[in-house]
Amino acid sequence: MEALNRSDIESFDRNMAEARCITAVVHTHPDGDAIGSGTALLGYLSAHGKDAVLILPDRYPAALEFLIGGEMEKRVIVAEDSMAEAERRLRSSDLIICLDFNSFSRAGDLEECLSSVQSGKILIDHHLNPDRKCFSLCFTETETSSTAELLYHILMEMPDIRHDAGRLPAITATALMTGMTTDTNNFANSVFPTTLAMASSLLGAGVDRDFILDNIFNSYKESRIRLMGYLLDRCLHITDDGVAYMILEKNAISKFGIQDGDTEGFVNIPLAIGRVRMSIFLKQDKDRFRVSVRSKKGTSANLCAAEFFNGGGHELASGGKLMIPDDVADAAEAAAYIERVTRIFFNR
């Protein structure tokens, strides 16, 4: 990643110092990087005596509950459960820091409120095409593993930290390692030299990586494992072009009692098959399918998601959605849609 701009760092530090009420916000359906970077910043601000709150548009996955507990839980607002409280908090904030999303639309039902409030807004994100006009200060870097890593490098520049990870609050260090670990799929993708340097520094500062791994990879509900077997046995299809896809419809979601976060990482599994070049996972959600796209090097998940799935993201890891009935007439047509558009994508 490129060196951080010194004037931006000074502005960030000054904005935090001058603000009385600071609110951090992450994207809808928050994943490990969103929760990790959000709680890391919350921990840092709280340690400095700030009136700081983290707003999550939706409930967080159970596997990440270890980052939000005790005193930390009192500083987290889940907008899905209390939209009025979330909006009141945003409107009373002197400073809003948006993490792990590139435009207000990725904050779901919070978009209108975020757009209308007049407080200062800072963006910290690693996705393509940030909506810079909405923010007074932007830290955006695509050549980094995660927003958690980008935040780590920013915090290392703070006057009180001075490039010593041991000076970070314990929860901040743990959350940063968690966000980076999940977004790299435990160092399987999007790993840069700076990523390994970050991990080494945090380990040296005392972060318990075994504790993190046990929580995020070894604490799933039994229903997740049974669903995984069901999907791989009954729902995995591979096209002649090497596109693996699985579709999780609402009847199966109900049968297995699946909640947000329970399917995290499923899209990566088919990439272990040699002839698979791209993996697509669809999960039905009311009048739409939420779409995850992953690909191997040389195939652009981002281009495919942008052109055919109303989304985008990173070169090898992107997301989007399919709307019913705008994109497909009903859920039964989703498989045919995937096969048709990926045939176009790979054969033009």
pLDDT value for 259: 86
Question: pLDDT digits over 247-293, tens only?
Answer: 999 999 999 999 888 899 999 999 999 999 999 999 999 899 999 99
Q: Both tokens of residue 173?
A: 């260090």
**DSSP code, position 315:** S
Residue that has been written with the tokens 């939000």 in this structure: 68
Distance CA 50, CA 161 (A): 17
Can you tell me the mean pLDDT for 96-120?
96
Q: Both tokens of residue 191?
A: 């790993």
Residue 167 CA neighbour count, 13 Å, CB half: 12
Can you tell me the mean pLDDT for 166-187?
97
**Residue limits of CATH 3.10.310.30 in the chain:** 223-346
Can you tell me the mean pLDDT for 294-298?
96
Question: pLDDT digits over 255-268, tens only?
Answer: 999 988 889 999 99
Q: Which spans in the chain are helix H?
A: 6-18, 32-47, 83-91, 111-116, 147-156, 170-183, 193-204, 209-217, 222-230, 250-256, 301-308, 334-346
Distance CA 134, CA 140 (A): 13
pLDDT value for 98: 98
Percent of the chain with pLDDT over 70: 100
pLDDT value for 260: 81
Q: Has residue 321 got a pLDDT over 90?
A: yes
Question: pLDDT digits over 4-23, tens only?
Answer: 999 999 999 999 999 999 99
β-partners of residue 140 are 125
Question: What's the fold here for domain 223-346?
Answer: Diaminopimelate Epimerase; Chain A, domain 1 (3.10.310)
Can you tell me the mean pLDDT for 326-346?
97
**Residue limits of CATH 3.90.1640.10 in the chain:** 6-217
Q: Has residue 125 got a pLDDT over 90?
A: yes
Residue that has been written with the tokens 């757009």 in this structure: 115
CA 273 to chain centre: 25
Residue 7 CA neighbour count, 13 Å, CB half: 1
Q: Both tokens of residue 132?
A: 């810079």
Write the CA distances from 338 to 138, 184, 227, 335, 341, integer angstroms: 36, 26, 22, 5, 5
CATH class (in words) of the domain with range 6-217:
alpha beta
Can you tell me the mean pLDDT for 97-109?
96
Can you tell me the mean pLDDT for 199-215?
98
Residue that has been written with the tokens 């940030």 in this structure: 130
Question: pLDDT digits over 130-143, tens only?
Answer: 999 999 999 999 99
Distance CA 141, CA 88 (A): 31
Distance CA 212, CA 189 (A): 18
